[in-house]
Chains A and B, each alone.
Chain A
């Protein structure tokens, strides 16, 4: 990094550490998010849907004394993490790529580094805050589940963090390759919905055909939901799990595997996306956006 250039005149300008700029940036983006009613309603809308569904289902999880509503809430909590990483993040990346924000940061010393710091901060805070709101409101309004003792809280924490690690790099990789924000949403929404319904997030996995169960268990959402159930539901509820247990080692293993895969994909793809960013590309993207009649973003 610090090779010297003989042709350069003595006054080499120090560059500030991008951490500080990144945290500042993350803070400002959070403030903008809080002030944006449209995006806030997007995040809180999911919470409302989860609460309504939880309020409507009345039965117990078959074979247990745990209310079905608890399983649904744990599943929605997992889906919220999943959505932040695989829906919100790629959309944000594609939009900012198209508008030229990424290019401007690329042209700024330490800009891309600060961008990653800011987005990490934004994703973690958004996820934790949404989960907290969901669990708090559920506990208050529909007698929702809360972790049972310190072990439950620890499980909640690590499953949330590992879940984020499993989906965020993957989401970044998707955001790096998707063509534009309009197509991005359509391309991601359908598989995300399919997974929501096949991963045992909103009703017990065991009620689905075995091939569907097997297919869903390849993806992280099933394991995130299972991990959160283990944190939020009483131990007796594991009787309803496909394996008859929470399979926490497997949860950790699958989520870690997705995290590794995500990083392996994201690093080169983000590099490539940033490298390809240039004025003429941004201009071309904006022309396309204008032709399709939708303002970028």
Chain B
């Protein structure tokens, strides 16, 4: 993992409770500079609460949080200027025209991006003079992205950014996020339900289940940690389909070849997908949760 200086986002023992109802039970999270981190988890796991605490929109009950070197609860305007937000539910400023709105929001920052160039970047040049309420859902979201990055943020929060996108718009959006992260070093915290998107964009993934980070690491590390094994399928000599799950598919295939003394019909090795890992994590009982960071787990059972 990146051994850079201080992480851009750092949470330790973050807790949140509304009255007697606990939402977060000690979240530990690091996001490093220039990294894209995807925060995954089922509804009600505390994703939104976590992100809103990091954005400075909610007061935590306990724990330590530092975002860009400040406690988000005490973030001032200079701190705000370094953060960009793209939320899923914005439908504001409907009467404004696209370019007018973007130009206006550029006025709040000392060194904003050029609005015209930004419209080009998100593919809304043709819609520059259109009223915001006349944009399609995908166009509206791309405008939200443009508004989120007009102040050249160092840290960008993306909340379910591609909900309602068609595949092409989604692809374009992914290229844009990759460009921001790789070329401009923007740190991105992404929450999504789209596991393919998470796998595609994220350097690391953190899974929040039941108010705790159940696991975090690269997708491969997560798969190991979750003990989601690879599946090997083949057709046995008697013609029956066979499948077996293993942590070491290479060895299994080699053994199969050795035993068969030749090619094997219908041989297929299926690596665990992020979805396998995710489902495994979400349904795993609580007690096995502690201390999973990419290290292999020995107590697993093949599904």
Contact = CB atoms under 8 A, between A and B. Distances in A.
B90 A282 contact: yes
Given A7-B6, A8-B70, A100 B88 contact: no
Interface string B77-92: 1101111010111111
A159 to B, nearest CB: 33
Interface string A103-137: 11011111100100000000000000000000000
A21 B89 CA distance: 24
Contact of A110 (B87, B92, B108): B108
B81 A107 contact: no
B35 interface: no
B95 A7 contact: no
B1 interface: no
Interface in B143-189: 147, 151, 159
Given A14-B78, A296-B91, 20 more contacts: A5-B70, A12-B78, A32-B96, A99-B90, A99-B91, A100-B89, A100-B91, A101-B92, A103-B92, A104-B92, A107-B85, A109-B80, A109-B108, A109-B109, A111-B80, A275-B57, A278-B58, A280-B49, A282-B90, A283-B89
Nearest to B48: A280
Nearest to A278: B57
A24 B93 CA distance: 15
Contacts of B52: 278-280
Interface of B: 6, 48-49, 51-52, 55, 57-58, 66, 68-70, 76-78, 80-83, 85, 87-96, 100, 104-105, 107-111, 147, 151, 159
**Residue among B81, B82, B89, B147 with max Cβ neighbours from chain A (10 Å):** B89
Contacts of A8: 68-70
Contacts of B49: 280
A100 B109 contact: no
Contact of B78 (A15, A21, A103): A15
Contacts of A194: none
Interface string A282-296: 110010000000001
B92 A100 contact: yes
Contact of B81 (A21, A109, A114): A109
Contacts of B55: 107, 278-279
Contacts, number: 115
B95 A32 contact: yes
Given A28-B100, A279-B87, A297-B94, A107 B108 contact: no
Contacts of B91: 99-100, 286, 296
B111 A13 contact: yes
Identify which of A1, A110, A280 gathers the most chain B CB atoms within 10 Å of its CB.
Answer: A280
A14, A278, A279: residue with the most chain B Cβ atoms closer than 10 Å: A279
B208 to A, nearest CB: 15
A36 B94 CA distance: 12
Nearest to A12: B78
A108 B80 contact: yes
B95 A15 contact: no
A28 B55 CA distance: 28
Interface in A201-244: none
Contacts of B85: 104, 107
Contacts of B100: 28
B225 to A, nearest CB: 29
A283 B49 CA distance: 13
A6 interface: yes
B66 A7 contact: yes
Nearest to B159: A279
A103 B108 contact: no
A146 to B, nearest CB: 35
Nearest to B85: A107
B83 A107 contact: yes
Contact of B77 (A6, A99, A109, A277): A109
